[in-house]
Amino acid sequence: MSPDSTCLAAISTDDGGGDVQIQVSGIARQPNGLPTSTATQSLQVAASVEQARDLTWITPTTLGVLGRRSTDKAVRPLVAEVGGQIEALAAVTSARSIATTGGERELYVTTSSGRTYSRVGASWSALGVTGSVVVPSS
* pLDDT tens by residue, the chain, 138 residues: 999 999 999 999 999 888 999 999 999 999 999 999 999 999 999 999 999 999 999 999 999 999 999 999 999 999 999 988 999 999 999 999 999 998 899 999 999 999 999 999 999 999 876 555 555 554
pTM of the model: 0.88
Distances (CA, A) of 2 to 12, 17, 75, 86, 100: 17, 25, 23, 18, 12
Q: Which residues contact 66 (CB under 8 A, 6 or more apart)?
A: 52, 53, 54, 55, 75, 76, 77, 78, 95, 96, 97, 98, 109
What is the CB neighbour count within 10 angstroms for residue 94?
Answer: 12
